[in-house]
A and B are shown apart, each in its own frame.
Chain A
Amino acid sequence: MSSVPASAFLALALILFCIGLYGALTKRNTVIVLISIELMLNAVNINLVTFSKYGMAPSITGQIFALFAISVAAAEAAVGLAVLISLYRARKTVNIDEMDTLKN
């Protein structure tokens, strides 16, 4: 059970985070971008759980924190999708590079 070292978990989290980051920064479709953000959140969750087990002072707090993050992420995804749908109704597009109203 404990034959899997902490560095493997951390590497997994790193890879997941990088994939998420890459997707969030490069994809044009907003749905993909939202999914990528979920990937990044889950990479963080893996980190939390890893350190709750292998950290300097292992405790259950990390796992509870991960649970919180998952529930908040679910809420965030719901809100994000709602915003996306309302944006789609207004702009007839889900392409993120056309959402440049920040410029003005």
Chain B
Amino acid sequence: MMENAWLIPLFPLLSFLILLLFGKRLKEASSYVGILLTLASLVYSILVLFERFSEPTFITKFDWLTIGDMHLTAGFEVNQLNALMLFIVSLVSFLVHTYSKGYMQGDERFPVFYAYLGLFTFAMLGLVISPNLLQTYIFWELVGVGSFLLIGFYFYKDEAKAAAKKAFIMTRIGDVGLFIGMILLFWETKSFEYSEIFAAVDAGAVSGTMITLTAILIFIGAVGKSGQFPLHTWLPDAMEGPTPVSALIHAATMVAAGVYLVAALFPLFAASKTALLTIAVIGAFTAIFAASIGLVQTDIKRVLAYSTVSQLGYMMLALGSAGYVAGVFHLMTHAFFKALLFLAAGSVIHAVHTQNIEEMGGLWKKLKLTGPLFLIGTLAISGVPGLSGFFSKDEILVAAWEGGHPILFLLALAAAFMTAFYMFRLFFMVFTGEARGNQQHVHESPANMTYPMILLGVLAIVAGYVNTPWFGTFLGDWLVDGNKALEHHGHAEGSPLIMIAATVVSLAGIYLAYLMYSKRSLKRNWLSGTGDTLHTILTNKYYVDEFYQMTVVAFTKGFSYFLRFIDVFLVGGLVKGVTGIVQGLGAAGSRLQSGQVQTYGAVAFIGLAVLVVIFALTGGYLR
């Protein structure tokens, strides 16, 4: 099976091509093409995943380009991480394809939507089986394109257009870092291959400073893609895209690509203490930073977006604390419960036609399926014991503690508290209490939207049990099996106190949310009311966007005006001068061609006279 794993990304590519060519004719039937082909990918991915449990890593490559004695290769690799990612991506993609059939029904550009989904899925699956940095980079940019197209799907809305551009540009900034890091690594190790890079790092062929430098540069790429501070601002804006897209790209798969990249290059990062510390600090800061913004947002999707940023920060913190398994484990569980939350949020939006949670309320009785499923997702992300998020979060907290960063550990704990609080704030405001908005035709979503949610709900509950301190650490053991560089970064046995602390914190968050938003025994503004300084800062997202607007954007604009000035006056003037000379010559020439025989005669005579003069002066021979 594994030797043909390259087929997995090709199914969605086929779907993309078919829909590109025949989408207009297929209309709503396009969805079946997309669903069937991603189902094929999913089935194949599951087979590959199970085969990888028992067999060693499969890797194959062929020479792609030969420059001098340098060989650039292309190929694919199925190691543990890649097999797991294949499964996650194809599963979420398949479910989102199914869900979109209901959600996007009646949209004018329905086939185009499915075509874009196919393109994105192809790129993401290609990304996770790349055996070298160059190929990774190509697919890395391709997922960026897919994300751009899908965020801007409602391109007639100005916000969507702006958000798509913003996402593309912000991630590009990170990509520049990745690109420089990649080239530096190639320069040092003469190879893009992961295995050869690791071998060179292991053998000490690369200096410590260079390892730190390249690792941090590559991490900048991950910062852009995974929405880490300070390049996080594009991710909440990306919520302008259709909700299934938010679930697929901006929650479960593409934004996790940054985490995946750090995990895939983990031996490189592990060789530099500074790089690891940078990752951990950025991750922990992002986790608490985004969580605090999430406390006050009123758009259901934006709350989820900030929670995504915060959870990605968690994963980075785990990887930075050398908790390889913890990071990958949380990546997996997060993909399930965050996709579930987004799909459930989509179902809510589908029902009430608004995204403002102030206008919702009391939907628990009206949405009999979506409500409980949303609750499952909320419980999972809050880290309530027994659900998947609890185990992975615990693993991260243990990694942070064992990594020797007590401050980062406390930050993570505080972020966990905030997460529990704002997620339950969201839940209580949407599903309990009185209906606040104008809700007439509230109805449960059709079956093709609820079934994917049910499956994700089940996974959000049980996915944690593959790696628990109680029932064995199957996932952790498997992930590091046979990998020398990772052996010390497997499951860490943490003190039960950490688990208790995590539980207490998450329950406290839930209880506070309950008091404020459901029981209402605490006023909503007891800490900071609307209009207070703290509240204003948070609703304005710490003014990061405004800061960028004033500094980077203003500077870039000024610089571009300067360049435009040069272009218009210097370059343009030069061009105009050249054309002016040529045109002048032409005009003078055409004035001679007046059609007046007399002029021609005069010219001929003058010419003759000149010739005669020359003849007389030179004596007949021109030298």
Flag the segment in B20-28, B488-496, B593-601 that touches A: B593-601
In the complex, the answer to whether A97 meets B593 with C-beta atoms within 8 Å is no
Residue of B nearest to A101 (CB): B595
Contact partner of B594 among A21, A26, A33, A100, CB < 8 A?
A100
Interface residues of B in 585-617 (CB under 8 A from A): 593-598, 601-602, 605
In the complex, the answer to whether A26 meets B598 with C-beta atoms within 8 Å is yes
Interface magnitude class on chain A: 10 to 19
Please give, as numbers and ranges, the residues of chain A lying within 8 Å of B593 by CB-CB distance. 103
In the complex, the answer to whether B602 meets A25 with C-beta atoms within 8 Å is yes
Residue of B nearest to A21 (CB): B605
Interface residues of B in 551-604 (CB under 8 A from A): 593-598, 601-602
CA distance A97 to B593 in the complex (A): 13
In the complex, the answer to whether A100 meets B601 with C-beta atoms within 8 Å is no
Contact partner of B598 among A96, A101, A103, A104, CB < 8 A?
A96
Is A102 positioned at the interface, with any CB of B under 8 Å from its CB? yes
Contact partner of B596 among A21, A24, A97, A104, CB < 8 A?
A97
CB distance from B586 to the nearest CB of A (A): 15
Label chain A's interface by main secondary structure.
helix
Residue of B nearest to A103 (CB): B595
Please give, as numbers and ranges, the residues of chain B lying within 8 Å of A26 by CB-CB distance. 598
In the complex, the answer to whether A25 meets B595 with C-beta atoms within 8 Å is no
CB distance from A77 to the nearest CB of B (A): 17
Is A99 positioned at the interface, with any CB of B under 8 Å from its CB? yes
Please give, as numbers and ranges, the residues of chain B lying within 8 Å of A101 by CB-CB distance. 595
Please give, as numbers and ranges, the residues of chain B lying within 8 Å of A103 by CB-CB distance. 593-595
Interface residues of A in 66-104 (CB under 8 A from B): 96-97, 99-104
Please give, as numbers and ranges, the residues of chain B lying within 8 Å of A24 by CB-CB distance. 598, 601
In the complex, the answer to whether A100 meets B605 with C-beta atoms within 8 Å is no
CA distance A101 to B593 in the complex (A): 11
Please give, as numbers and ranges, the residues of chain B lying within 8 Å of A100 by CB-CB distance. 594-596
In the complex, the answer to whether B595 meets A96 with C-beta atoms within 8 Å is no
In the complex, the answer to whether A25 meets B594 with C-beta atoms within 8 Å is no
In the complex, the answer to whether A25 meets B598 with C-beta atoms within 8 Å is yes
CB distance from A100 to the nearest CB of B (A): 3
0/1 per residue, A24-61, Cβ < 8 Å to B? 11100000010000000000000000000000000000
Q: A21-B605, A25-B602, A25-B605 are in contact. Are A96 and B597 (CB under 8 A)?
A: yes
Please give, as numbers and ranges, the residues of chain A lying within 8 Å of B596 by CB-CB distance. 96-97, 99-100, 102
CA distance A36 to B1 in the complex (A): 102
CA distance A11 to B593 in the complex (A): 34
Interface magnitude class on chain B: under 10
CA distance A24 to B605 in the complex (A): 11
In the complex, the answer to whether A102 meets B598 with C-beta atoms within 8 Å is no
Please give, as numbers and ranges, the residues of chain B lying within 8 Å of A102 by CB-CB distance. 595-597
CA distance A100 to B593 in the complex (A): 10
Please give, as numbers and ranges, the residues of chain A lying within 8 Å of B602 by CB-CB distance. 25
Please give, as numbers and ranges, the residues of chain B lying within 8 Å of A104 by CB-CB distance. 595
Please give, as numbers and ranges, the residues of chain A lying within 8 Å of B597 by CB-CB distance. 96, 99, 102
Please give, as numbers and ranges, the residues of chain B lying within 8 Å of A21 by CB-CB distance. 605
Contact partner of B601 among A25, A97, A99, CB < 8 A?
A25
Residue of B nearest to A97 (CB): B596
Please give, as numbers and ranges, the residues of chain B lying within 8 Å of A33 by CB-CB distance. 598
CA distance A23 to B372 in the complex (A): 109
CA distance A97 to B601 in the complex (A): 13
CB distance from B596 to the nearest CB of A (A): 6
Residue of B nearest to A24 (CB): B601
CB distance from A93 to the nearest CB of B (A): 14
CA distance A25 to B604 in the complex (A): 11
Residue of B nearest to A99 (CB): B597
Residue of A nearest to B605 (CB): A21
Please give, as numbers and ranges, the residues of chain B lying within 8 Å of A97 by CB-CB distance. 596, 598
Residue of A nearest to B601 (CB): A25
CB distance from B156 to the nearest CB of A (A): 52
Please give, as numbers and ranges, the residues of chain A lying within 8 Å of B605 by CB-CB distance. 21, 25
Please give, as numbers and ranges, the residues of chain A lying within 8 Å of B601 by CB-CB distance. 24-25
CB distance from A38 to the nearest CB of B (A): 16
CB distance from B591 to the nearest CB of A (A): 11
CA distance A26 to B605 in the complex (A): 13
0/1 per residue, A10-28, Cβ < 8 Å to B? 0000000000010011100
Residue of B nearest to A104 (CB): B595
0/1 per residue, B229-267, Cβ < 8 Å to A? 000000000000000000000000000000000000000
CA distance A101 to B602 in the complex (A): 18
CA distance A103 to B598 in the complex (A): 13
CB distance from A37 to the nearest CB of B (A): 10
CA distance A89 to B597 in the complex (A): 20
Residue of A nearest to B598 (CB): A25
CA distance A97 to B597 in the complex (A): 8
CA distance A102 to B605 in the complex (A): 19
CA distance A21 to B601 in the complex (A): 9
Residue of A nearest to B602 (CB): A25
CB distance from A17 to the nearest CB of B (A): 11
CB distance from A83 to the nearest CB of B (A): 13
Please give, as numbers and ranges, the residues of chain A lying within 8 Å of B595 by CB-CB distance. 99-104
CB distance from A87 to the nearest CB of B (A): 12
CA distance A100 to B599 in the complex (A): 11
CA distance A33 to B596 in the complex (A): 13
CA distance A103 to B602 in the complex (A): 16
CA distance A86 to B215 in the complex (A): 93
CA distance A22 to B602 in the complex (A): 9
CA distance A25 to B605 in the complex (A): 10
Most A CB within 10 A of own CB, among B593, B594, B597, B602: B597
CA distance A100 to B591 in the complex (A): 13
CA distance A46 to B195 in the complex (A): 103
CA distance A96 to B594 in the complex (A): 12
A96-B598, A103-B593 given; 12 more Cβ-contact pairs under 8 Å: A21-B605, A25-B605, A96-B596, A96-B597, A97-B598, A99-B596, A100-B595, A100-B596, A102-B595, A102-B596, A102-B597, A103-B594
By a beta-carbon cutoff of 8 Å, the part of chain A in contact with chain B is 21, 24-26, 33, 96-97, 99-104
By a beta-carbon cutoff of 8 Å, the part of chain B in contact with chain A is 593-598, 601-602, 605
28 contacts between A and B (CB under 8 A): A21-B605, A24-B598, A24-B601, A25-B598, A25-B601, A25-B602, A25-B605, A26-B598, A33-B598, A96-B596, A96-B597, A96-B598, A97-B596, A97-B598, A99-B595, A99-B596, A99-B597, A100-B594, A100-B595, A100-B596, A101-B595, A102-B595, A102-B596, A102-B597, A103-B593, A103-B594, A103-B595, A104-B595
> 10 closest pairs, A vs B, by CB?
A103-B595, A100-B595, A102-B595, A25-B602, A25-B598, A25-B601, A100-B596, A97-B596, A103-B594, A96-B598
